[in-house]
Chain A
Amino acid sequence: GQNIDQPTEMTATEGAIVQINCTYQTSGFNGLFWYQQHAGEAPTFLSYNVLDGLEEKGRFSSFLSRSKGYSYLLLKELQMKDSASYLCAVRHLSNDYKLSFGAGTTVTVRA
């Protein structure tokens, strides 16, 4: 099975940096995704990690440590539009398509 934990809520100031942690326990790991979801909208793909290390995409970066079962999503130069829920999702090794999600972290950006 999959146990995926991430903080429920985080608040930060516009222009600041926020780091959202995600820990997972899995019987078979085949990649970790981060999605962003604004209220009432579809989750949208942000990043993917399958090897250890840091992946950088503009203001967003994602890190993975497979040995520790740990990932984080780093949001830099926060903007008001970054206020959303951020979902950590692990892909199964046994089924290369099925995703298991954490409950999501609601990030609120304040002026």
Chain B
Amino acid sequence: EAGVTQFPSHSVIEKGQTVTLRCDPISGHDNLYWYRRVMGKEIKFLLHFVKESKQDESGMPNNRFLAERTGGTYSTLKVQPAELEDSGVYFCASSQRPDLGSYNEQFFGPGTRLTVL
């Protein structure tokens, strides 16, 4: 079974440009999450989808960030316009519905390393 995949693995852009990150969750996982790790600090929650609906977007830094999950499958996270402080590693994770798993653990992708110059 394929794990969570993310594209691209690395992205280097200039301040003011736009970048779109993509996440493909594990097939059948209704829950999809975005997290971010900035400058060696802890991984922080950004938002949570249940299928195509945003369940919790309390961690989104500001309105320059837009996440979508049309059709309830893959998700995209767009940063427009990018700022220097947006640099970091963006992780995507997915999990099953809670009644299908004893732990409801989240399975993480390898992340996209974003560098804004």
Interface residues, chain A, CB within 8 Å of chain B?
4, 31, 33, 35, 40-45, 48, 87, 89, 95-104
Contacts and interface: CB of A to CB of B under 8 A. Distances in A.
6 contacts: A33-B103, A42-B111, A95-B56, A98-B48, A99-B35, A99-B45
B9 to A, nearest CB: 9
A33 B91 CA distance: 17
A43 B20 CA distance: 22
B41 A103 contact: yes
B90 interface: no
B108 A104 contact: no
B42 A42 contact: no
B106 A104 contact: no
Interface string B77-117: 00000000000000100010010000111111111000000
B33 A48 contact: no
B4 interface: yes
B41 A48 contact: no
Contacts of B3: 42
B75 interface: no
Contact of A4 (B42, B48, B95, B106): B42
Contact of B110 (A4, A31, A42): A42
Given A33-B105, A45-B105, A103-B41, A96 B56 contact: no
